[in-house]
C-alpha cells in the first residue's frame, strides 16, 4: 500500500467495532497515514483510538457535528497524495482500499468510487436500496452522468482535488456534496465493485430518510450554482467527466 495514501476515519460512538476496524485497516494499509476523527463520541471510542493508534496515525477530537464536519476536519490535515474515506462500522472491508488506489493510479487525476451495485451484495436492505437508487438517479439526472452508487462511503481522490472541493456539509449529505461537486467541476468518476455488509439499526446504523432529503437538496443546489468555484487546481489537468467502470 502506497505511503502516499491518507485514510480518513470518522468516528462517533463506535466502541464495538473500532478495535477490529483498526486492526484490519492497519493490516491492509501498513504504510498509509490514517487520520481518525472522533466526532464527540460519548462512549469509549476516543480512549480506544488513543490506545490503538500507531505512531504514524493522527487522532483528532471534534465536537459532535456529523460525518461531514469530521471529514472536513480530517481533510485539513491530510498529507498523502491520495485520500480515501473509511467508515468505522465494518460495513466496508479495508482490504479493498488498494483496489480504489490501483484504479486511481491507472486512470490519472480522477475520483474513484467503490460501488456496491456493480456486484451482488444480497444483504442490502430494501429501504436503504430504494433511497440510494433515488439519490443516485437524481444525481445522474442533474448531471447527465452514469454513476451507480452516489452514497458509497468509499470515495478516493487526489488529496489536492479533495481539498479543492471546498466541502461545506456537516452530516451525511457530504456524500451528495462530494459526488455532485466532482461532476460539477469536471472530475472524472471511475467506479469499481466493492463488497458491503450493512449493519442493522439496532447495531448503530445512523443514516435515515431525513439525511436523504438533505442529499437531494445538496445535489440540486450544486447543480444550480452558476459556475464551479469549488475546485482549486491546475486547469490544464481538468478533464470533462466521462463515467466509466474500472475493469
Q: What is the pLDDT of residues 114-172, one digit of tens each?
A: 999 888 766 665 656 777 899 999 999 999 999 999 999 999 999 999 999 999 999 99
Measured CA to CA, the distance from residue 71 to residue 178 in angstroms comes to 11
* Percent of the chain whose predicted confidence (pLDDT) is above 90: 74
Q: Classify 63 as helix, strand or coil.
A: coil
- Reduced 3-state DSSP string for 67-113: HHHHHHHHHHHCCCCEEEECCCCCCCCHHHHHHHHHHHHHHCCCEEE
Measured CA to CA, the distance from residue 240 to residue 134 in angstroms comes to 25
Class of domain 5-245: alpha beta
Domain spans in the chain, listed from the N-terminal domain onward: 5-245
- Prediction pTM value: 0.87
- What band does 202 get if pLDDT is binned at 50, 70 and 90? very low
pLDDT at 240 over 70: no
Q: What is the pLDDT of residue 204?
A: 47
Q: What is the pLDDT of residue 212?
A: 85
Average pLDDT score over residue span 219-232: 76
pLDDT at 217 over 60: yes
Asked if residue 111 lies in contact with residue 64, where contact means CB atoms within 8 angstroms, the answer is: no
Average pLDDT score over residue span 67-88: 97
pLDDT in tens, 37-66: 999 999 999 999 999 999 999 999 989 999
Amino acid at each position: 500500500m502506497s505511503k502516499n495514501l491518507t485514510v480518513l476515519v470518522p468516528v462517533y460512538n463506535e466502541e464495538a467495532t473500532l478495535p477490529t476496524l483498526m486492526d484490519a485497516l492497519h493490516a491492509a494499509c501498513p504504510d498509509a497515514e490514517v487520520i481518525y476523527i472522533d466526532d464527540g463520541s460519548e462512549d469509549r471510542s476516543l480512549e480506544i483510538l488513543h490506545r490503538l493508534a500507531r505512531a504514524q496515525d493522527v487522532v483528532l477530537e471534534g465536537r459532535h457535528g456529523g460525518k461531514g464536519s469530521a471529514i472536513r476536519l480530517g481533510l485539513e490535515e491530510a498529507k498523502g497524495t491520495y485520500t480515501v474515506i473509511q467508515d468505522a462500522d465494518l460495513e466496508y472491508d479495508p482490504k479493498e482500499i488498494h483496489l480504489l488506489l490501483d484504479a486511481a493510479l491507472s486512470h490519472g487525476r480522477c475520483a474513484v468510487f467503490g460501488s456496491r451495485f456493480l456486484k451482488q451484495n444480497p444483504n442490502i436492505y430494501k429501504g436503504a436500496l430504494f433511497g440510494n437508487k433515488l439519490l443516485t438517479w437524481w444525481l445522474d439526472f442533474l448531471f447527465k452522468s452514469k454513476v451507480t452508487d452516489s452514497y458509497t462511503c468509499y470515495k478516493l481522490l487526489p488529496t489536492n482535488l479533495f481539498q479543492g472541493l471546498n466541502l461545506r456539509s456537516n452530516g451525511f449529505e457530504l456524500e451528495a456534496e462530494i459526488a455532485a461537486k466532482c461532476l460539477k467541476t469536471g472530475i472524472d468518476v471511475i467506479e469499481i465493485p466493492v463488497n458491503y455488509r450493512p449493519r442493522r439499526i439496532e447495531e448503530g446504523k445512523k443514516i435515515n430518510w431525513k439525511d436523504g432529503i438533505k442529499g437531494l437538496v445538496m445535489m440540486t443546489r450544486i447543480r444550480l450554482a452558476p459556475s464551479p468555484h469549488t475546485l482549486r487546481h491546475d486547469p490544464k489537468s481538468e478533464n470533462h467527466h466521462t463515467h466509466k467502470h474500472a475493469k
